[in-house]
Amino acid sequence: MRTDATRRVLRALLTLLTFGTGLAPIGPAHAWSTDGHMVLTEAAVLATPASLPSFFRSGAKAIARDSRDPDFAKNRSLPALRNGEGPEHFLDLELLKGRSLPATRYGFIHQCARAKLDPDRVGLLPYALAEATERLALAFAESRQRPEDTHVQAKCRYLAGQVAHYAQDLCQPLHTTVHHDGKVRPDGSSPRTGIHSRIDDLITALRVEPSALAARQQVAPVESLMPAILSELKRSNALVTRVYMLEPKLRVKGARGLAPEVSDFAQERARASVRFTASLYATAWKLSGTLQLPKAAAE
């Protein structure tokens, strides 16, 4: 059986192999740790309504594995990919100074230009999530047309992993704020206190089974995709102050060592992440029933 020390070494090696040894990125590196994303994603698939196709609901473990890929795409040996992927994982809401977010990525980029903000420094997480959800809807539409096509089924599972990753990043409060790894200095730089990684580790520290996180979840499609994403973003951002209030109690790792307040926070965020991810799966499935595919794609 692996000890906690062994797990830490293996996680460090995985991080080294994936991200290299250069300088840290502008935004957060990843959320909920690789293992945490897998737990939350498997739980989200288990929590989906029975109306979703059986190939999807039985593919929870495969989808969970695929949820790691957006972090893997930030490999330092792939500079073009890393440059494009990095901003997809966060949005520093304070930089917008109360401005409403447009419905689309390029609307947001134009807004940033008018405000003299760099969109890659503000972050693009809501748009990465909305686009991933719509891609999943399109793949689901293909699966409705060709329900026995295993290639299409694999595509649905892969895209679901993308949705899960971005949805769960959004539910980690430190992905929604300039204070992503310590309170920013007056010059806007981050002190890199390590609080981000300690929050990331909480899902693993809970040692909770995906089936437990999926139990008693109320999951339904959202009314409108982007407004639902922005509402969840604001709920997550509202917890930043609570995160920093918990900081002195984040030192001890392991389920038995978590302070009660920290455990409660981790449980709440884990269940919220599962519920939100599952609701986006249900939304993509519902939307897929309304899509008209090009003739060639349906044949």
pLDDT in tens, 139-169: 999 999 999 999 999 999 999 999 999 999 9
Measured between alpha carbons, how far is 160 from 277 in angstroms, rounded to an integer?
Answer: 9
Per-residue pLDDT at 31 exceeds 50: yes
Domain ranges of the chain: 29-291
Helix residue ranges per DSSP H, the chain: 4-19, 33-46, 54-57, 60-66, 69-72, 79-85, 105-114, 119-122, 125-145, 150-171, 195-200, 202-206, 210-214, 225-237, 240-246, 260-288, 295-298
Q: CA 165 to CA 49: how far, in whole Å?
A: 20
Does the structure show a pLDDT above 50 at 77?
yes
Over 90: is that where the pLDDT of 252 sits?
no
Under the phi-then-psi rule, with left for phi > 0, alpha for psi from -120 to 50, and beta for the rest, what region is 188?
Answer: left
* Closest CA relative to residue 267, chosen from 39, 59, 47, 91: 39
Summarize pLDDT for 211-224 with one digit per residue, the tens.
Answer: 999 999 999 999 99
Averaged confidence pLDDT in the chain: 89
The pLDDT tens digits of the residues spanning 116-126 come to 999 999 999 99
pLDDT at 32: 61
pLDDT of the residue at 18: 39
In a 13 Å sphere around the CA of 35, the CA atoms on its Cβ side amount to 17
The end-to-end CA distance of the chain, in Å, is: 50
Token digits for 130?
Answer: 């909305």
- The share of the chain scoring above pLDDT 70, in percent, equals 86
Fold of 29-291: P1 Nuclease (1.10.575)
pLDDT of amino acid 13: 41
Q: What is the pLDDT of residues 79-105, one digit of tens each?
A: 999 999 999 999 999 999 999 999 999
70 with 129: CB under 8 angstroms?
no
In this prediction, residue 250 carries a pLDDT of 87
Tell whether the model's pLDDT for residue 28 goes beyond 50: no
Task: Report whether pLDDT(287) > 70.
Answer: yes
Q: Residue 188 class from Cβ within 10 Å (0-12 exposed, 13-18 middle, 19+ buried)?
A: exposed
Comparing 22-26, 69-73, 89-93, 284-288, the range with the smallest average pLDDT is: 22-26
Q: What is the pLDDT of residue 251?
A: 67
Rounded to two decimals, the pTM is 0.87
Q: What tokens were used for 6?
A: 């062994």
